[in-house]
Amino acid sequence: MSLPAILCLHGSGVNATIFQFQTATLQHLLSKTFTFIFLDGPFETRAGPGVLPFFDGCEPFFRWKSKSDDNVFATEEVEDEVRTLIRETLKTRDDWVGILGFSQGGRMAAGLLAEQERREEVGEEEEGAGFKFGVFVMTPEPPMTGLVYEEGVEVRIQSPSVLVSGKKDFWYESSKRMREKYFEEETSKLVEFDVDHRMPNASADVKIIALEVLRLYLETTGIRGILNQ
């Protein structure tokens, strides 16, 4: 029997293979409970911060928007190429439970959750959708969705979520504002580590994240997952 799936969206300037490597310990700890599905963003770009020289030779690198990465706070809508990629991926299985995103991938993940909740609010259905929780790592504001800029629409993500911030991250303050401005306080939790803009890799830190994911899974499904020691 297949395990329920978590969709994983990398940051700008890496790719799915690198993100698999960056999350290897987290995947191991949760390997008895979830399947992790990784996607490449549709737009090629230069290497992101800290990617080289360690991942030299792992090109091409990708991002989730077609325009320059220089202003991550610019007004954005999810682009057609991304919508098509996500939609077709979600159709491949019916057991999606969560979405995990790092940095720009976290902004994309937050946008997808916000739009899912909006569709549910107005009674629209979309094949394959149905994330129950979100995990956002080093993710600056705002969510990548046009809803943020739509008059009369307030984006407050209600899906149970964990937001992981690094106290040494250059987007630390923005990542805290992401939760304060766009997530419901009652259903979201901020977890902070003494790291810069990267996936936490200390064993104790990754275990904390894994336990938070299992908590979200229990809260949203009633199923108690297993931590693989």
Residue 229 lies in a domain: no
Q: How high does pLDDT run on average in the chain?
A: 91
Residue 44 lies in a domain: yes
Backbone conformation region of residue 103, classed left if phi is above 0, alpha if psi is from -120 to 50, else beta? left
Residue 166 lies in a domain: yes
Residue 156 lies in a domain: yes
Amino acid identity at 190: L
CA 201 to chain centre: 17
Domain extent at residue 146:
5-221
SS3 15: coil
Residue 105 lies in a domain: yes
Whichever domain contains 97, its CATH number is 3.40.50.1820
Q: Which helix (H) or strand (E) holds 106?
A: helix 104-122
Residue 96 lies in a domain: yes
Residue 80 lies in a domain: yes
**Strand pairing report for 161-166 and 133-137:** parallel
Structure confidence by residue, pLDDT tens digits, 72-125: 444 455 678 888 899 899 999 999 999 999 999 999 999 999 999 998 888 776
Query: Looking at the 3D structure of the chain, how many domains does it have?
Result: 1
Q: Phi then psi for 144, rounded to 5 degrees?
A: -85, 85
Identify the pLDDT of residue 74.
Answer: 47
Own/partner pairs for 51-60, CB < 8 Å, 24+ apart?
51/13, 51/14, 51/18, 55/14, 55/18, 58/15, 58/17, 58/18, 60/15
With cut-offs at 50, 70 and 90, classify the pLDDT of residue 49. confident
Selected residue with higher pLDDT from 145 and 196? 196
Identify the pLDDT of residue 68.
Answer: 59
Strand-pair partners of 61: 45
Residue 214 lies in a domain: yes
